[in-house]
């Protein structure tokens, strides 16, 4: 490994091949074992005094840890100390470090090497991996970029550290899991927030993932002065400051919706519809057809009405529309086209009008972009009880009527209509509705640019249904 250029690591010198022997009185001998408390060890052996929150993180022995931190709060230093302490306590350990790019993972390795040199260790690579460090007790550190193929071949890691995890691809998280399976190693996921989507944000917000959580904001770091933080707030703006220094997951134009908007839309027991308004209920069903790497997905929105305030001028009670997610589902990738009509028919049958509401007409929106016209014709021949509207999504600026009942629809208009519904609070998500967890996950991850790591099939299905409901009932976009 080349000599690091940063002055902080001026003592770091690497030998490309491991030394064959060490003297028995050298501080690098394998029988050197630090005390069990990593905070005490860092203080006495390295002169590093941990802040209270840093000490709490260092002492955590849980197997799954997620740390959301302010930038420049010492997250990499804490990770490096934890890794070195663990490697010295357990000879023969494999410690892996990964980040979006090799340079970021290499920085963490350099910090470990710096601390190791302070202890008097002779620094050398393991002779196999170009970015590695081998200790005399057989423990080694390997730094790799977050590329799925680069992690194959490793096994039984005692610790894996994912640095700047908010920028690491979803596939890399899946590739690292088998490395921990046999040895029961620990996983540390560390990052400054970046948007509300991605696996890092999901691990932080989802209590079912089983991760121990730590937040290390600028307010927890005594090295930041009030004057510096005030300057950063003025220079970069409130949103950037909140994300970079206060550990807040900010959408900031990256994702379509914020987590708070989605959370606010959740309902457990949807309100009952007044019997006088039930005849105005309508059903809008969006069907997004899967391509080679996507699911065919379906979402059912119910248009329902609620009474509002009474106008003393007209002596009438206002009626307000609202949309409720009743159902969503995805077919497996590569499902045969001929099975889609049955899928649609079975779904509509679940919500078939009762004998007390024989006049209700449901609307089915079908994504006919590309080769979708084949499915449209199959569904038409199936003679389902619904008004069928094939939709061709475009990058244009205006919706148009096409021949044979087709309509062109700008994708941007459709997506923005869904966003406005959430902002106005005119859409609700029934948490007990079938398929809700998948729908919620896609909504959280969805980016208008299409760069999200999650599938977007359910989002496109609900967006189509919502757009049509808005077209027929513009009051959905009116503030109440």
| Domain residue ranges in the chain | 7-245, 263-477
pLDDT for 301 equals: 97
pLDDT for 28 equals: 42
Q: How sure is the predictor about 453, in pLDDT bands with cuts at 50, 70 and 90?
A: low
pLDDT for 372 equals: 83
Per-residue model confidence as pLDDT tens digits over 255-275: 788 888 899 999 999 988 888
Mean pLDDT over 5-30 rounds to 44
Q: Which of 16-25, 176-185, 191-200 has the lowest average pLDDT?
A: 16-25
Inter-residue contact 298 to 326 (CB < 8 Å) = no
Q: Which of 166-180, 289-303, 421-435 has the lowest average pLDDT?
A: 166-180
Q: How sure is the predictor about 25, in pLDDT bands with cuts at 50, 70 and 90?
A: very low
Return d(Cα 462, Cα 473) in angstroms, integer: 16
Query: Is a pLDDT exceeding 60 seen at residue 15?
Result: no
Query: Is a pLDDT exceeding 90 seen at residue 130?
Result: no
Helix (H, G, I), strand (E, B) or coil at 361: coil
- Tokens (6 digits) for 99: 């980040």
Q: How sure is the predictor about 251, in pLDDT bands with cuts at 50, 70 and 90?
A: low
Mean pLDDT over 384-412 rounds to 88
Return d(Cα 113, Cα 407) in angstroms, integer: 62
CATH architecture of the domain covering 263-477? 2-Layer Sandwich (3.30)
pLDDT for 32 equals: 66
Residue with more model confidence, 360 or 85 = 85
Which of 151, 260, 142 has its CA nearest to residue 196? 260
pLDDT for 234 equals: 83
Residue with more model confidence, 294 or 62 = 62
Determine the distance from the C-alpha atom of residue 271 to the mean position of all C-alpha atoms in its chain, rounded to a whole number: 31
Highest-scoring range by mean pLDDT, 4-8, 67-71, 350-354: 67-71
pLDDT for 9 equals: 42
Return d(Cα 294, Cα 316) in angstroms, integer: 48
Q: For domain 7-245, say whether CATH 3.40.50.300 is its number.
A: yes
Return d(Cα 433, Cα 302) in angstroms, integer: 12
Residue with more model confidence, 352 or 25 = 352
- By CB atoms closer than 10 A (0-12, 13-18, 19+), residue 367 is buried
Handedness of CA 370, 373, 379, 380 (dihedral sign): positive
pLDDT for 30 equals: 40
User: Average pLDDT, whole number, for the chain?
Assistant: 84
Q: How sure is the predictor about 299, in pLDDT bands with cuts at 50, 70 and 90?
A: very high
Q: Which of 80-89, 143-152, 154-163, 283-292 has the lowest average pLDDT?
A: 143-152
Q: Which of 2-6, 44-48, 159-163, 374-378 has the lowest average pLDDT?
A: 2-6
Query: Is a pLDDT exceeding 80 seen at residue 177?
Result: no
Q: How sure is the predictor about 148, in pLDDT bands with cuts at 50, 70 and 90?
A: low
Query: Is a pLDDT exceeding 60 seen at residue 315?
Result: yes
């Amino acid at each position: 490994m080349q000599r690091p250029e940063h002055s902080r690591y001026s003592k770091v010198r690497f030998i490309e091949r491991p030394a064959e022997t060490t003297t028995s009185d050298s501080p690098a001998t394998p029988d050197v074992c630090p005390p069990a408390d990593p905070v005490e060890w860092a203080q006495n052996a390295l002169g590093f005094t941990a802040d209270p929150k840093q000490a709490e993180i260092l002492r955590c022995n849980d197997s799954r840890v997620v740390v959301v931190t302010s930038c420049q709060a010492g997250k990499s230093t804490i990770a490096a100390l934890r890794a070195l302490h663990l490697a010295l306590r357990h000879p023969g350990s494999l410690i892996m470090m990964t980040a979006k790019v090799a340079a970021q993972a290499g920085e963490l390795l350099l910090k470990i090497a710096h601390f190791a040199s302070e202890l008097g260790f002779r620094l050398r690579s393991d002779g196999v991996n170009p970015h590695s460090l081998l200790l005399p007790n057989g423990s080694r550190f390997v730094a790799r970029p977050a590329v799925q193929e680069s992690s194959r071949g490793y096994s039984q890691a005692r610790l894996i550290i994912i640095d700047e995890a908010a920028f690491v691809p979803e596939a890399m998280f899946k590739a690292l899991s088998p490395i921990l399976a046999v040895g029961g190693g620990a996983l540390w996921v560390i990052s400054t927030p970046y948007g509300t989507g991605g696996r890092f944000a999901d691990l932080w917000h989802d209590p079912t993932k089983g991760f121990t959580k730590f937040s290390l904001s600028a307010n927890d770091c005594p090295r930041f002065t009030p004057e510096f933080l005030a300057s950063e707030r003025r220079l970069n703006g409130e949103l950037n400051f909140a994300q970079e220094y206060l550990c807040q997951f900010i959408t900031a134009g990256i994702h379509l919706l914020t987590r708070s908007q989605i959370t606010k839309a959740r309902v457990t027991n949807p309100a009952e519809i007044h019997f006088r308004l039930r005849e105005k209920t309508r059903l809008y069903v969006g069907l997004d057809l899967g391509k080679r790497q996507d699911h065919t997905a379906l979402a059912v929105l119910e248009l329902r009405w609620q009474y509002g305030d009474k106008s003393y001028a007209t002596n009438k009670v206002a009626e307000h529309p609202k949309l409720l997610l009743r159902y969503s589902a995805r077919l497996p990738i590569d499902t045969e086209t001929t099975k889609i009509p049955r899928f649609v028919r079975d779904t509509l049958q679940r919500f078939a009008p009762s004998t007390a509401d024989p006049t209700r007409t449901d609307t089915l929106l079908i994504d006919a972009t590309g080769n979708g016209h084949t499915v449209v014709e199959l569904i038409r021949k199936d003679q389902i009880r619904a008004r069928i509207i094939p939709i061709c999504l475009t990058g244009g600026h205006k919706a148009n009527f096409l021949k044979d009942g087709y309509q062109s629809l700008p994708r941007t208009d459709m997506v923005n209509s869904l966003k406005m519904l959430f902002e106005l609070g005119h859409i609700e998500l029934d948490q007990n509705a079938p398929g809700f967890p998948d729908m919620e996950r896609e909504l959280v991850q969805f980016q208008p640019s299409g760069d999200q790591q999650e599938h977007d099939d359910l989002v496109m299905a609900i967006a189509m249904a919502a757009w049509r409901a808005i077209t027929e009932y513009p009051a959905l976009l009116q503030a109440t």
